[in-house]
Structure 1
Amino acid sequence: MSASVRHGSSRAQAWFCTTGLPSDVVFEVHDMTFHLHKFPLMAKSRKIHRMLTEQEEQRPARGRRRRRSSDGGDSGDDGAAETEIEEADDEEEEGAEEQQVRREDDGQVYSIAFPDFPGGPGTFEAAAKFCYGVRVDLTAWNVAPLRCAAEYLEMTEDHAEDNLAARAEAYLDKTVLQHPGDATKALKSCEELLPLAEELGIVARCVEAIAARSSATSRSWFDDLAVLGLRMYKRVMAAMAARDDVRAEARESCLVSYARGTIPGLSRSMRRRLASAPVSSEVEQKELLEAVVASLPADRCSGRVVTAKFLFALLRTAHILRASDAARAALERKAATQLEQATLEDVLIPSYSGAAETLYDVDCVERIVGYFLAEEEIGGFASSSAAIEVEEEAGAEVSRPSAVAMVQVGKLVDSYLAEVASDANLKPAKFCELALSLPDHARIYNDGVYRAVDIYLKAHPRLTAEERDRVVGVVDCRKLTVEACTHAAQNERLPLRAVLQVLFFEQLQLRRAITGTLLAPAGASAVPPRAMRQQRPVSGEWRGATVLAQESQVLRLDMDSVASRVQELERECSSMRRAIKKIDGSSGSGSGGRSPGGRSADGGDLSGPAVGGWRARHGCKFSTQVCDSHARNVVASRASRIGMSP
């Protein structure tokens, strides 16, 4: 059996069966014509057998009608009218069969049209080959169309043994439905076979097979879900959600695979799309995205499949497609649950709205941070230093997910502030709101937020004094490292009051470091030698003494460097006091270089009214005695050192 294709004007293409015998029946399926033989088809298809048998029975009657029409020319108009009525009745009977069957003039060739054949010409060709005894390879893609074609042509076991319907059913049950990937392909082929595939139960069986075997197999088939339409995808997800034996990770994997395969441009890092995935319009993509958002787990995701990168990619795409406010709010809340796992690239969401002035959507990030803080507060995790000390004293090695997550979010927000600080349209109020949205324990050090403030001041040189003070006020000088303090002390963009506060707290930190260094040897020497011997094994006594000697030497070197730094800072403070005294003296009422109740400018005392007025103008509230080398000795008594406040 062979086939050839011929192009013509009336038909798009024709299919011929060349067996050495002329064809006696012509089938018209959509835009293709099949020239076949009636006996092989009648042996397998009851429908074709019935239709051709009826035509055979009608041949003599039609012949008599044609002879009556040709010989009865003198019978008048009544005979012609009767013949037309009989032919009209025959056409109505053929329409009841929903087929268009006509007899050619030669009386040998018949033509049958199947305008609604399931599966189209390709499926009819495979069914015709099966009737001729040609081997037809069943696959996951063609088994559902062939099963529907067998039902349409009535190719069942009642008409012939080992027929097409039984073959397709056996392959569907034993092969296709045993693997979710093949069941997904069969389910995709059913989208063009409705409602017949639904009536035969193929759709329901494929959906149930996918849901039942999704947790027990590998994830290699998850990418096949991208070929499904939205309707079939929703049925699969609903079936998986209805089963108790389906793991949440399997549902999340199906969700992520479908979203990546069907929504173009989901993420800048997700370039790969399946070749078989259909290209959807913008409206269809919006509908797909909202369906994916609705399929997200109600509880907190595991984070292994539905990651923070995926959630922020969905959120970015939702802004591009202008998804509904409910979908975007749901994504923001879901992204907030994994904010500690996000990176700077994830939270840099461009502003796609024409009303937004900034390059990035700062309001969206601020809302996400607010949702994160609300979740942390509801969770009831302790975050204070007292709770941490209690756990440390208890000796339990307990991980603190809330505290660690808060610190990670603090670092992320500081990096985000440093990135958006250079935007000229970012208002100081918005910058400060985002910087102050986190609690104090979210930042161990304030170096990150100080860097963001420095970038903002550099990018906005025309800020007013009030705005500059407000922006700088988000930095806690007590949490700056030595490197940040050194940079801030030389930063010309900072107000004078901020520089003085940085110098004060830096000197205070150095004094506390020196105090701790001096207290360590004193505390060690207070331990009796006998107690030391009891606490340390005898075999490691000499080794412990060597280690203590080395540590003492290192501490002495550190103490010398810290002491030199303190002296340098005290000299700088003295120079600043003399300069400030001269400024106050020149602006005063001629006090003669000596303020009432204090020493002269050379003495370095700042307790006079002139200095008090300067402090009131610049808002400095700290005591100047800690910066005066003559007010207190560096090596104070042990009691005074212990009582020193931070």
Structure 2
Amino acid sequence: MKFMKIGTRLEAILTKEATRYVTLDVSSDLTVQVNNTKYLLHKFPLLSKCGLLQQLCDPTNSDNQTVELHEIPGGEEAFELCIKFCYGISINLSAHNIVQALCASHFLQMSDALEKGNLTNKLEYFFGSVLQAWKDSILALQTTQALPTWSENLNITGRCVDAIARKIWTDLTNVTWSYTYTRAGFIRKAHAGAPRDWWTEDVADLDLQFFRRVILVVRSSIPPALVGEALHVYACQHLPDELDPNSSGSVVKHREILEFIVSQIPTRKGSVSTSFLLRLLRLANQFCVSDRVVAEIMRLAGRQLEEAKLVDLLKLRSSPSCSTSFNYIDMVKAMAEHFLVEHRRTSYPDSGERQSDSERSHQSMTRVAKLIDSYLFEIAADPNLPVTKVIELTNTLPDNARADHDDLYRVIDTYLKEHPDISKSEKKKLCHKLDCRKLSTDACMHAVQNDQLPLRTVVQVLLQEHVRAAMAMSPVGLHGNVKAMLSAPTGDMAKDMTLATKGKDPMNGRMMASNVNGQRSIDQSSHEDHQRRGMTSPPVFDKATIEAVEVDQASEIAEEDDSKSRTGSKVVNFSGRPATSEVTQDGHSKKKMKPKRMPSISSMIAKLTSKLPIQKQR
């Protein structure tokens, strides 16, 4: 910090009650009243240097005169600096008092027009040297807050802002002055030069009105990331993590700071972190800022939602208004919609997108889907959470967003356990987005034994798993019609198979339902143990065992067909319905007993695949 000393006399201004005076052999002939303090002074040293006092006093009048100077900027402290200079008493100037001394000297008209080497010119010279120092410029700008009108009229504030901006624009290799930088992991000795955001912490000490002026001056000439970093540091220093209900007056100030920060965030994606934006969104709910500001924060956060962390999304529930009305789910949904808009814009086919860009775009979509499913899993245990909120957020992302549906199944399973009383139609809507083709083997085995799932969903899982096993058994592949059925969406596949079954056999629907109910009742003790352990460790069946069972069932069906063909039997269909009669070699009809046990779904599928035309191997 720079200092300047003016004057050589060591006398001091003494105080007696509310009166201050200078110790001289001559009695005082001028009384100056400044606010509540009375000064007993002398005309001779003062009138020669103060143009204002010359106008208010008659130098030829030897009587004691009284002058009131209540409007002097800086008050008693600034006035004493000026009168000490007139008496030749030593004064010390620095960035702490230069602004008020300069304003007071202009008020008293202490210019060189009255006397060469007057106080105003000396203060102007020293003020210029103060602006050459980085921290002195910051400190001088802060002191202008006490004298806003005089500082603006004398352009003191503007000169301070310009001096700060010039130093921010300085090349990093030329930054040699002292600055504040307390970031974790930064060791000054290990760096040859200053970090690019060296100035942000010192500027963050300014009041909002001065910080605003500095940012507006420099933002067009520095990278957007630096602007975002400065806004981030300022928010960390001036915005609390939680709202203090006892400080109602500070809410208005905090709201003003937050609105300014949001308005100054650069439009370039990645200028600020998603975690910082979500923090602003949480504080915006607590400070009750305008809907326009909240919408802007959600738009900015949605554009880079793939970088968000689950813990930051969960913190949105901390606001009382959000926790009771579930607005935090609507916010996450809105951010996901903004992400989709940005994703479609950057992934437009005519934009000349490269392969690497396409892969990054797909990866970002997958990360967002993983984030949304993890978020739903955390909030699904809330007993008051409406099912409509879960369905809306689940359906926000497109079908190709999720690489697998295990996380989505965990969400459905958790919600159904905590909300067992929801209707069947709501369960169907909740499971509508679930694609059984994208479930792992563990998830499928858990879903088959899940009593809370709709029956249709369990049937879809069973069909998918058994058809998948049949495909694995066939060495030459399946017929094209079956492949087309497997490539269709799960819901459409189940619908087509149901319609075909109804057309061939009205009893088949009841048979399948009975088979599923039988499947659910298998090994109840193992199922209860699995329910206690949760979805994370479902019962795992050996693949070799499953394949062995499928082969055995296919062998039984093949042997039965061979025996029927040797006896001339007529098989009506492959749906599992038993034949009621057969024709012998002599042409007479013979009654046949119905089997006691219905074939399982795996037997039906194995029989279906055996009837398909075999593709020749090349």
TM-score class, shorter = 0.5 to 0.7
* Partner Cα separation in structure 2 for residue 200 and residue 279 of structure 1: 36
The residue number in structure 1 matching 2:161 is 207
* Partner Cα separation in structure 2 for residue 164 and residue 596 of structure 1: 122
Quick one: which of 238, 251, 255 aligns to 1:286?
A: 255
Structure 1 position 372, deviation (Å): 1.3
The residue number in structure 2 matching 1:314 is 280
Query: Per the alignment, do residues 150 and 462 of structure 1 end up closer, same or farther by CA in structure 2, a change over 3 Å counting?
Result: same
* Partner Cα separation in structure 1 for residue 90 and residue 210 of structure 2: 32
Instruction: Tell whether 2:378 aligns with 1:419.
Output: yes
The residue number in structure 2 matching 1:460 is 419
The residue number in structure 2 matching 1:442 is 401
1:236 alignment partner AA: V
2:380 alignment partner AA: A
The residue number in structure 2 matching 1:371 is 338
TM-score (norm 1): 0.65
Instruction: Tell whether 2:123 aligns with 1:168.
Output: yes
The residue number in structure 2 matching 1:335 is 301
Instruction: Tell whether 2:214 aligns with 1:236.
Output: yes
* Partner Cα separation in structure 1 for residue 26 and residue 473 of structure 2: 110
* Partner Cα separation in structure 2 for residue 624 and residue 599 of structure 1: 23
* Residues 599 and 605, structure 1, Cα contact 8 Å, conserved in 2: no
1:175 alignment partner AA: V
The residue number in structure 2 matching 1:191 is 145
1:31 alignment partner AA: N
Structure 1 position 511, deviation (Å): 5.7
* Partner Cα separation in structure 2 for residue 403 and residue 213 of structure 1: 43
Instruction: Tell whether 2:290 aligns with 1:324.
Output: yes
* Partner Cα separation in structure 2 for residue 134 and residue 599 of structure 1: 128
Quick one: which of 443, 446, 454 aligns to 1:487?
A: 446
Query: Per the alignment, do residues 442 and 177 of structure 1 end up closer, same or farther by CA in structure 2, a change over 3 Å counting?
Result: farther
The residue number in structure 2 matching 1:345 is 311
Query: Per the alignment, do residues 125 and 167 of structure 1 end up closer, same or farther by CA in structure 2, a change over 3 Å counting?
Result: same
Instruction: Tell whether 2:82 aligns with 1:117.
Output: no
* Partner Cα separation in structure 2 for residue 51 and residue 336 of structure 1: 66
Structure 1 position 17, deviation (Å): 4.3
* Partner Cα separation in structure 2 for residue 21 and residue 600 of structure 1: 137
* Partner Cα separation in structure 2 for residue 5 and residue 494 of structure 1: 90
1:169 alignment partner AA: E
Query: Matched residue of 2:168: which SS?
Result: coil
Aligned residues with identical type, % of pairs: 30
* Residues 204 and 230, structure 2, Cα contact 8 Å, conserved in 1: no
Quick one: which of 544, 548, 552 aligns to 1:567?
A: 548
1:563 alignment partner AA: A
* Partner Cα separation in structure 1 for residue 305 and residue 77 of structure 2: 52
Query: Matched residue of 2:144: which SS?
Result: helix
Structure 1 position 344, deviation (Å): 1.6
1:367 alignment partner AA: A
1:117 alignment partner AA: I
Instruction: Tell whether 2:82 aligns with 1:127.
Output: yes
Structure 1 position 264, deviation (Å): 3.0
* Partner Cα separation in structure 2 for residue 194 and residue 129 of structure 1: 25
Instruction: Tell whether 2:201 aligns with 1:223.
Output: yes
* Residues 320 and 352, structure 1, Cα contact 8 Å, conserved in 2: yes
Quick one: which of 141, 152, 170 aligns to 2:107?
A: 152
Structure 1 position 301, deviation (Å): 3.5
* Partner Cα separation in structure 2 for residue 56 and residue 43 of structure 1: 10
Query: Matched residue of 2:67: which SS?
Result: strand
Structure 1 position 130, deviation (Å): 3.7
Q: Report Cα offsets for 1:113-153 as digits up to 9, x if no partner.
A: 32111122232333344444455443333222222122112
1:341 alignment partner AA: E
Structure 1 position 480, deviation (Å): 1.5
* Residues 152 and 158, structure 2, Cα contact 8 Å, conserved in 1: yes
Q: Report Cα offsets for 1:74-99 as digits up to 9, x if no partner.
A: xxxxxxxxxxxxxxxxxxxxxxxxxx
2:256 alignment partner AA: E
Alignment of 1:231-630 (within 5 A): 231-241=209-219, 243=220, 245-265=221-241, 281-297=250-266, 299-303=267-271, 306-348=272-314, 349-350=316-317, 352=319, 357-359=324-326, 361-381=328-348, 391=355, 400-509=359-468, 562-567=543-548, 594=578, 600-601=594-595, 604-605=598-599, 627-628=605-606
Structure 1 position 342, deviation (Å): 1.1
* Residues 26 and 112, structure 1, Cα contact 8 Å, conserved in 2: yes
Instruction: Tell whether 2:52 aligns with 1:47.
Output: yes
* Partner Cα separation in structure 2 for residue 43 and residue 356 of structure 1: 72
Query: Matched residue of 2:68: which SS?
Result: strand
1:375 alignment partner AA: E
* Partner Cα separation in structure 1 for residue 24 and residue 549 of structure 2: 108
Where does structure 2 lack aligned partners over 5 or more consecutive residues?
A: 1-9, 173-195, 478-540, 556-576, 582-591
Query: Matched residue of 1:452: which SS?
Result: helix
* Residues 310 and 375, structure 2, Cα contact 8 Å, conserved in 1: yes
* Partner Cα separation in structure 2 for residue 212 and residue 302 of structure 1: 26
1:56 alignment partner AA: P
Q: Report Cα offsets for 1:337-378 as digits up to 9, x if no partner.
A: 121111122223238575974455211211111111112112
Structure 1 position 381, deviation (Å): 4.7
Structure 1 position 476, deviation (Å): 1.4
Query: Per the alignment, do residues 605 and 253 of structure 1 end up closer, same or farther by CA in structure 2, a change over 3 Å counting?
Result: closer
Which is worse superposed, 205-214 or 24-33? 24-33
- Name the count of aligned residue pairs: 486
* Residues 3 and 15, structure 1, Cα contact 8 Å, conserved in 2: no
TM-score (norm 2): 0.68
2:215 alignment partner AA: M
The residue number in structure 1 matching 2:512 is none
* Residues 300 and 334, structure 1, Cα contact 8 Å, conserved in 2: no
* Residues 157 and 166, structure 1, Cα contact 8 Å, conserved in 2: yes
1:400 alignment partner AA: E
C-alpha RMSD of the superposition? 4.1
* Partner Cα separation in structure 2 for residue 128 and residue 514 of structure 1: 105
Structure 1 position 639, deviation (Å): 4.5
* Residues 472 and 498, structure 1, Cα contact 8 Å, conserved in 2: yes
Q: Report Cα offsets for 1:165-220 as digits up to 9, x if no partner.
A: 233322332332553x5434323322332322222222222222333332436534
Structure 1 position 432, deviation (Å): 1.0
* Partner Cα separation in structure 2 for residue 336 and residue 435 of structure 1: 16
Structure 1 position 452, deviation (Å): 1.1
The residue number in structure 2 matching 1:57 is 60
Structure 1 position 457, deviation (Å): 0.5
Of structures 1 and 2, the one with the larger relative CO (CA 8 A, separation 6+) is: 2
2:274 alignment partner AA: A
Query: Matched residue of 2:93: which SS?
Result: coil
* Residues 177 and 205, structure 1, Cα contact 8 Å, conserved in 2: no
Query: Matched residue of 2:428: which SS?
Result: helix
Query: Matched residue of 2:457: which SS?
Result: helix
2:227 alignment partner AA: R
Query: Per the alignment, do residues 159 and 309 of structure 1 end up closer, same or farther by CA in structure 2, a change over 3 Å counting?
Result: same
Structure 1 position 448, deviation (Å): 1.4
Q: Report Cα offsets for 1:579-613 as digits up to 9, x if no partner.
A: xxxxxxxxxxxxxx94659995467546xxxxxxx
* Residues 45 and 86, structure 2, Cα contact 8 Å, conserved in 1: yes
* Residues 306 and 364, structure 2, Cα contact 8 Å, conserved in 1: yes
Query: Per the alignment, do residues 356 and 56 of structure 1 end up closer, same or farther by CA in structure 2, a change over 3 Å counting?
Result: same
Q: Report Cα offsets for 1:432-463 as digits up to 9, x if no partner.
A: 11101101222111111111111110111101
